[in-house]
Amino acid sequence: MSAAAAGTVRVRPVTRDDASLLHALVRELAEYENLLDRFECPEAELERELFGTGLLDAAIAECSVDGPNGGEWTVAGFALWYYTYSTFRGRRGVYLEDLFVRPAFRGRGCGSALLSRVSERAKETGCHRVDWSVLSWNESAKAFYRSLGAAPVAEWEWWRLSMDTSS
């Protein structure tokens, strides 16, 4: 059975042992988004931010696939987020920095499971919303998010003041 065949999805928190795996998944995302030339995050820096500062949180999605030993779990994707604050609401929120499912596992519920986990963590920590951005050309991502009931925030534009010239 191929990796794209039907199976079960599970989502688990990222652990320190996953640092290399998460770094490789972020690199895969950069490649998928045609932004590999901008990928410069050292693995040690990602690990430090995840496990040394408490600023980031992440989860790994795994899919069950048939293997030589029966059902085996294969890494299918990840979500990485951090906390924000709304002065108008007086409450925290979550900013979903990245949600990525490897192409072979799309359509199997991995993205929905990851976004559900992010939403659960947001609720558990008293957050009132989950925000994210989508590349303008990524119509499949937009369709996926709309299918979950999400919508673009039309009255706001995303702006940036970069502290270096590489962003």
- Residue 136 CA neighbour count, 13 Å, CB half: 2
Catalytic residue numbers, as ranges: 145
* Per-residue model confidence (pLDDT) at position 164: 73
* Per-residue model confidence (pLDDT) at position 65: 82
* Per-residue model confidence (pLDDT) at position 1: 28
* Per-residue model confidence (pLDDT) at position 34: 93
* Per-residue model confidence (pLDDT) at position 129: 94
* Per-residue model confidence (pLDDT) at position 4: 39
* Token pair 């940036």: residue: 160
* Per-residue model confidence (pLDDT) at position 160: 79
* Per-residue model confidence (pLDDT) at position 79: 98
- In DSSP notation, 83-138 reads EEEETTTTEEEEEEEEEEE-GGGTTTTHHHHHHHHHHHHHHHTT---EE----TT-
* Per-residue model confidence (pLDDT) at position 163: 86
With CA atoms as reference, report the closest residue to 62 among 122, 125, 15.
15
Domain ranges (residues) in the chain: 9-147
Architecture of the CATH domain 9-147: 3-Layer(aba) Sandwich (3.40)
* Per-residue model confidence (pLDDT) at position 68: 63
Mind listing the pLDDT tens digit of every residue in the chain (167 residues)? 233 344 589 999 999 999 999 999 999 999 999 999 999 999 999 999 999 988 899 999 999 887 666 678 999 999 999 999 999 999 999 999 999 999 999 999 999 999 999 999 999 999 999 999 999 999 999 999 999 999 999 888 888 788 876 55
* Dihedral, 158, 105, 110, 42 alpha carbons, nearest 10: -50
Q: Which amino acid is at 4?
A: A
Contacts of 69 (CB under 8 A, 6+ apart): none
